[in-house]
Amino acid sequence: MPAPFLISKQDNGKLSETSREIFREQFDTLEPGQYFVQFKPHKTARFTATRYKWWFDCVLALALPKVRQHFGMANKRTGEVTYPDTVEQLHHILKIVYNPVTIVTADGTGIRTVGQSTTGMPDKDFIGEFAEQIIADFSGAPYYAFPDTGCPDREEWADMYNTGEWHSFKQKK
């Protein structure tokens, strides 16, 4: 039977090479049959703020309640309008608004604008342009998404996380 094991999902959404090896090793120990698997989060004492952890857990989590009503998604077929409920949905919308790419078919028809992935962006572009522009926009009217002290940057957020303050800070907003 496999032993408990620790894996890491990276900022690019993929498992690290070591984690993949651990998974492979653990699966190899299994007999054929059905298994119930449950993932449990693990918190380390020294937390490093990677850009996506900060982006989703800090920037988007603080902004979501204040900005969601400004980003309705209309279903063209049914006309139904829904609003983002999760930070992942909000991120998807922000990619379309702030990092769009237009797809043009060979005959010039079927033009679509979609959100381009941000995973390939270097930190300089992601934090310095994409994130900074959104934080600036969300800081003012009509959103006023962040507390008076502003949106915590990565270092401030990591410090709050390491000192245990982040959870209560997030709850208060």
Partner 1 sequence: MDNKIRNLNPHKPAVAATWIWNERYMASGTGAMEFWDSLSESEQVIARKCIDEIYFALPE
> Contact positions toward partner 1, by CB under 8 A?
40-46, 159, 162-165, 167-168
113 forms beta bridges with: 102
- Between residues 63 and 160, which has the closer beta carbon with respect to partner 1? 160
Within 10 angstroms of residue 36's Cβ, the number of other Cβ atoms is: 4
Give the shortest CB-165-to-partner 1 separation in angstroms. 7
Give the shortest CB-162-to-partner 1 separation in angstroms. 6
Give the shortest CB-166-to-partner 1 separation in angstroms. 9
* Helix H or strand E encompassing 74: strand 73-74
| Three-class SS state of 101 | strand
DSSP 26-53: HHHTPPSS-----------SS----HHH
Closest CA relative to residue 5, chosen from 15, 49, 46: 15
- Between residues 44 and 78, which has the closer beta carbon with respect to partner 1? 44
| Three-class SS state of 119 | coil
Query: What is each CA distance from 135 to 46, 56, 146, in whole angstroms?
Result: 26, 13, 9
Closest CA relative to residue 94, chosen from 57, 138, 51: 138
- Between residues 129 and 165, which has the closer beta carbon with respect to partner 1? 165
Give the shortest CB-111-to-partner 1 separation in angstroms. 48
- Between residues 37 and 45, which has the closer beta carbon with respect to partner 1? 45
Give the shortest CB-41-to-partner 1 separation in angstroms. 7
- Between residues 46 and 112, which has the closer beta carbon with respect to partner 1? 46
